[in-house]
Structures are given as structure tokens and as C-alpha cells.
Structure 1
Amino acid sequence: MNDPYVDRLIQSYLDDSLTEQELVEFESILLQSESVRLRFWELAEVHGLAPQAVAALGLKLENDVVTPARRLPAPPSAGNLWSRKFSFMLLRQSGLTLAGGVLLGALISAFAWPVRGMPEMSTPTSLTTESFESGASPAVAGMPTIADLWSGDFSEVVGTQQGVVPADGEKMLQILRADYDGKPTPEGSYCGDLYRLIDVRSLREQLAKQGTIAHASALFDMSTQPAAEEYRYSVRILALTTDLIANPQQFDPLMIDEYALATARQNVRLDNNPQTWELAQCELRLPAQTDFILIHLGVSYGYAEDDIRRITFPSHYVDDIQISLSNYAH
């Protein structure tokens, strides 16, 4: 089993997008491989999910170390924490949910786990907010290569329509299509995307000395759609270097996850009620080498019963985007 394949399974699991067959395979691999279990926790922390797993599993924090709250076999010592065989519990029926409705049907070890990311956070500092009240529509150029510009697929700033009222103010953004102006191969596109690149190079010293967390959230809604159709919305944060952005082979929607320093994502399945907005949000601890963070908002056509993918969207909206940074309080 090659590492990229294992990473893809873990990332898909954390994004709640594994098929039933892949889920069975993934849990089998977790049971058999200690290195995969370690990798799972590493990526769970990158996604900002590890502290939620701690709380939801009924674990307790003592001297910055998480231990099971109920009587379990004695944990390994700190010196050989990852070198001993773990005992695992199936939690498929526990009801544990993480960001994006992710079910941790995976297996959690009965061991002492040093927790990072648990200290209290400072008050968030806003990087940008966007409710589209200016009326200016985003650029239609795919992923932007310059900072502080909303760009992506075809979209339009609108007011109330089709039973959907803006969540904040009098305007909202309607995602219209899954392609942008001049996209090389638009055929088969089914994900409508919106991006913003944010320059954090001025915060390099802060990133190196403190734990800095990037937060992103947005509200999504849609008009009433046929019951057989399913749409998924997502919010994603990526930590990038300047060199990556300058490399067109790496700074590509299909390749960027592989080359990013770190990523985090939350997916949301919307209800079919246009009167309710759904919140999607995620957070990412930024590596010290981060030059830019890329915010990605997306809507994808799930599949209808006839398995047709759609390049246009009938009535899908985003509003009240919030992007901020916070640090561990000292």
C-alpha cells in the first residue's frame, strides 16, 4: 500500500467522502497498521479535528496529556508512545461526529496522547469579511494568483430571489456555473468554486513563535431542489508557499492539495429548505513556512439517480464569509 493512497483514504475519511467499500478497507488498514494510525492522527490534527475527537470520546486532560476517562489498559510511556501496539475500540455506534458531519467510525487507541492545540485561543483578528454588499461580482478567472481578490467560476451578486433571502444585508452571491472564463477543459466540470488568496508573510515571526490558527466560515443556501438531487458545499483552507503559487503545475486545482503545506476542509449537505442557511466552517494551524493562505468555497452537484453531473447550478448561494486568525494565549 503506497503512502499517497493511504493519505487519500484518510483525507477522504476526514472529508466524509469515502464510499462504503472504501470505509471497510480503511478501517481494516487502521487495525493492521500502526504507522497508518499515527498518520491518521497527524492528518486529523492538521484538519483541526483532533481536539474534537478528544472531547467527543469522553477523554480527559491531565497535565497536557489526554487519557481515557474510563478504566483501560495502562498507557505506554512517553518515551515509546508510538512504538507499542495499541488497543482499539470500534466507535461506529458512538454517535461521535467531527467537522462536516464526519463520523469517527475509525478506531481510537487507549493510550496517553500528548495534546497540541488544546490551550485557550486569543480573540480572533479579522482578515476579511464579505457579504457582497458592494455589488461587485468576483473575477471569473479560476484560482487567483494575486492576494485580496475573490475569483473563481461564474457567479453573480444578487438580492432576494427564489425564496432565498440574504443572510446578511441585502445581497448575496449566486454560484452559477462549474467553469470559469477560458477554462481549458470545462466539459465534465461539476464543482462551482470561489477563492481568495491572503498574504501572511508579514506574520512570519508570529507564525514561527506562536501557534497561529486560520479560521474560515461561510453561510450556504439553495432554493428547493428535486429530491433525487444532492448538493454539497465546502469551506477549505490551504497553507501555501510563494514558490508553489509561482509554479503552474503545482498551483492547479487538481494538484494543489498534494503540494500545500497543510489543508483543512468542512463539507455540508444542505437541507431542502430555502428559509434556512447552513454554516460551514473550518480551521487550520498554519505552519511556520506559510506565505499565503488560500480560502476555497465550493458547491458540487452530488449525483441524481441518472448519474448526470451538472455544469450549471439552478439556485445556490453563499453569504457572510468570515476569515480570521487567532493565536494560542500565553
Structure 2
Amino acid sequence: MSNQYLDKLINAYLDEALTPAEQAELETQLQDSDAARQRFWELAEVHGLAGDVARTLWLDVDAVVTRASSLSVDLAQAESRGHNRLNRIFLAPLSAAVLGLVIGMLSTAAIWAATTLKQQQVVTIFHDSFESGPSPVASGAPLDTDAWGADYSEIVEAWPSLRPVDGKRMLRFLRADYPGKEKQVGYFGDLYRVIDLRGDVSQFADGNAVVSVEAAFASLALEESGRFSPHLTLHALEKLPANTEAWHAMFEIPRRLEEASLASASRQELFLSSDPWRHMSLEMRLPPKTRYLLVGLHIGDMEAARYSGGLPSDVVFEGQFVDDVRVKLHRHWALYEKTTDTLGQGKKL
């Protein structure tokens, strides 16, 4: 039997479209050929079934490898769980002997499925909904690596006509400056937080990891559509500035922050909908030499940016908030094969 015809029979079986004569042919091949049984599971994976089988047979994926060699299938359990897709394999009319041989081949497929699940692992490495922890520091930079820092801001509870996304508190942007700022001009309010990744190096040392940041921004000035712009940034750093002066020097001139970064990414949007909360996310491939991640939350006054007399001083933000900040580490090898050109080393600011 040709490989092409075998594939046709297996695909028809998985799609529940076999004729009785074709089923007899398939059973013969599956009973007599290890290669045919292996091909069955390869095509089951294409149909999205191999991983589902592994999840159904083993609730703990880490146990797949140890249990594969002594696999037993409880058909009644599979049926009671109502997995219609899995029923194509477990409950379709293959003879018991052939079904046993096919399921026996699952040991290899199950190990593959478990490995794939691990490769797609997503770990939340930071979450802040501003329910606890130190207040943000208006210091021009995140000098305290355990707190948000840069421009004026405050943590508040529910505001008139606005409730936090998560918990009882949220962060409010106040101004686009900080005490002692050399040039009291600007139209972006900035907040930064340092995430120490030195304990997670093994997760991305091979270069096969993406870091993402998610945050919810809110504006109560929706009648001024397009005026305020939420903005997320990510910077991968190998080391932190040595002192306060070095921090300020890096932030005063944006080019220096870019030059100090192994990779950086940025995303900016506008408040255009009637929903005050706008959920944003940003991804960046994480270079292997990264030891610290600099997460930036920003709000911009686009009207001030167009100010005809030059950059205004002391921009004050009315009704601009952020909440539910999450930083996640993603391992997904297939991502890099398909999106290298898109992700690269991150979009430079």
C-alpha cells in the first residue's frame, strides 16, 4: 500500500468518513505495520488529537513518560468525559486488537505531546494590581528596584465612574515630571519597574523565550477622543546603572536607554472607544544575556505634544489610570520558526 493511500485512509478514519471496505484495509495495515501505526499518530497530531489524547489519559502531563509503557485505556471513562474529538479514536469501530496496537504506539506520541506542552509553557513572573507593596517614587527613574518609579503618580481606590480592573486599587498618573527634573517640560508621564531575571536565566539562556507585558489603561477624558495615548515599553538589560546619576543620565536622553538595551520593544495606542479600560500587550524576544527587564508604563498628552509654542511645562494628567500589570515568560519553539522576522530582537525605540 502506498504512503499516499495510507494517509488517505487514516485521514478518512479521523474524519469519520471511512467506508466498510476502506476500514478493513486500514485495520490490516495497522495490525501488520509499526510504520502505519506511527503514521496514524503523526496524522492524529495534525488533526489536533494527539495532544488531546495525552491530556485525557494523564491529567498530570509530567507523568506521561513514566506511564506510557504501561498504558491502559478506559473507554467508558473517555466516553463519559464527552470528548467527541477523542471518541474518533477511542470509540470508533476498529477491532479491539487493532485498537490496542494503535493505542500502544501512543507511548511515543504521548512523550512528544508532553514535550510540546512544556515547550509552550507560559509563566507569570510578575503581577501587580497595586493592592500592596511600596508606593511609586517620583525619582525620575526606578531607583528602588522593588517599586515603580519615575514621574509623579499615586495609588488610589475606586474613582468616581471608574473601578479597578483587579482588586480594590489602581495607579493614577499625575504629572509628566518629578522633583529636581532638569528640564521641566514634557508630555509623557512615565513609570518604570525593574524585574530581576537572574533567577530565571535557565528559562531563556538558549534564546528560545519571549517576554510579554500586559496592562489595562483607563481614561476618564473619553470626550476628548484621541488626546491621551497609553504606551507600553520593554527593555532587556544585562546590567543596571551603577548609581543615581547614571540612572538619570540614561533616562534624560532616550538614545542612551536604547544603547544600553540588549533589546527593546514599544507599543502606543489611543483611547478611542467608549470603554474607559483599554487592555494592551507587548511582546519581545528575550536575548540570552538578559539579566534585568525594564517595564515601562506611560501616558501621553497628544494635545500638549502639538503645543505650538514648544513642549509645555508641568503637564498634569486628569483621569488617567493603569491597573493589572502582568509580565509573562513564554517558551514556544514554533514561535521562532514562524515569526523570526516579526519579533527579531524587538522593535527599537
TM range (shorter): 0.5 to 0.7
2:321 to 309, 314, 317: 317
CA distance in 2, matches of 1:325, 1:228: 34
**Does residue 1:230 correspond to 2:227, yes or no?**
yes
User: What letter matches 1:134 in structure 2?
Assistant: S
C-alpha distance 158-263 of structure 1, shift in aligned 2 (>3 A): same
Residue ranges of structure 2 left out of the alignment (5+ in a row): 1-115, 335-349
Secondary structure in 2 aligned to 1:297? strand
RMSD, aligned α-carbons: 2.7
1:224–1:272 CA contact under 8 A, matched in 2: no
User: What letter matches 1:327 in structure 2?
Assistant: R
Alignment match, 2:155:
157
Rg larger for: 2
C-alpha distance 276-249 of structure 1, shift in aligned 2 (>3 A): closer
Shift of 1:243: 5.9
Secondary structure in 2 aligned to 1:270? coil
Secondary structure in 1 aligned to 2:319? strand
Shift of 1:228: 7.2
Which moves more between the two structures, 280-289 or 120-129?
A: 120-129
User: What letter matches 2:136 in structure 1?
Assistant: P
CA distance in 1, matches of 2:265, 2:240: 20
C-alpha distance 329-228 of structure 1, shift in aligned 2 (>3 A): closer
State the TM-score, normalizing by the size of structure 1.
Answer: 0.57
Alignment match, 2:276:
276
Alignment match, 1:209:
206
CA distance in 1, matches of 2:222, 2:185: 21
Alignment match, 1:251:
250
User: What letter matches 1:271 in structure 2?
Assistant: L
C-alpha distance 249-181 of structure 1, shift in aligned 2 (>3 A): closer
**CA offsets per residue over residues 110-156 of structure 1, 9 Å max, x none?**
xxxxxxxxx98523211111111227521111221453321121111
**Does residue 1:176 correspond to 2:180, yes or no?**
no
2:217 to 206, 216, 220: 220
Secondary structure in 2 aligned to 1:203? helix
Alignment match, 2:296:
296
Residue ranges of structure 1 left out of the alignment (5+ in a row): 1-118
CA distance in 1, matches of 2:207, 2:262: 17
Percent pairwise identity: 29
Alignment match, 1:263:
264
CA distance in 1, matches of 2:202, 2:333: 16
User: What letter matches 1:179 in structure 2?
Assistant: D
Shift of 1:177: 0.5
2:139–2:150 CA contact under 8 A, matched in 1: yes
Query: Which is richer in helix?
Result: 2
State the TM-score, normalizing by the size of structure 2.
Answer: 0.54
2:128 to 122, 127, 130: 130
Shift of 1:203: 3.0
